[in-house]
Amino acid sequence: MEIILKEDIVNLGYKNDIVNVKSGYGRNYLIPTGKAIIASPSAKKMLAEDLKQRAHKLEKIKKDAEALAAKLEGVSLTIATKVSSTGTIFGSVSNIQIAEALAKLGHEVDRKIIVVKDAVKEVGNYKAIVKLHKEVSVEIPFEVVAE
């Protein structure tokens, strides 16, 4: 089933992308929640016209994302958590803690665009990816230390 996304959806696509999904996922979740519409020929024409009119706005959004990426380029974080005697973390470090640590440094980043690939369950060095735009992402190294 071909649909047009109305907002960014992690691991699927970005706003105004035309993607193929399974029929049940499209009909039962994406369309009823307003996250997508069916990609009919008329909807595709409207999308093309909208994109043509908003090209300069999208360019500004991309430039803002690149500016934020430049600010985040040299940032490295240290996150202190409670640790057992063996070095295992109680719980785990997720995108929420990374977003809070970035906020303390003065960088307001939505936690939904931060991706941590591996589960952080031990003390050590890791990397998180901040997906600021369709074409702009930044890798942020962070260290997990005992509190």
| Number of independent structural domains in the chain | 2
Final residue before a domain boundary, out of 9, 41, 61 = 61
Same domain, 71 and 129: yes
Same domain, 55 and 79: no
Same domain, 35 and 88: no
CATH number at residue 45: 3.40.5.10
Mean pLDDT (whole number) for 79-108: 88
Four-residue CA torsion sign, 100, 103, 107, 111: positive
pLDDT of 61 > 90? The answer is no
Supply the range of the domain harboring residue 40.
1-61
Same domain, 37 and 17: yes
Residue 115 CB contacts under 8 Å (≥ 6 apart), including other chains: 10, 95, 128, 129, 130, 131
pLDDT digit string, tens, across residues 9-30: 888 998 899 999 999 999 999 9
Decide: helix, strand or coil at residue 30.
helix
Give the model's pLDDT for residue 85.
85
Final residue before a domain boundary, out of 29, 61, 93 = 61
Same domain, 138 and 78: yes
Give the model's pLDDT for residue 76.
87
pTM, entire model: 0.65
pLDDT digit string, tens, across residues 96-128: 999 999 999 888 888 888 998 888 888 889 999
pLDDT digit string, tens, across residues 23-53: 999 999 999 999 999 999 999 999 998 888 8
Same domain, 53 and 76: no
Distance CA 115, CA 13 (A): 15
CATH number at residue 80: 3.10.430.100
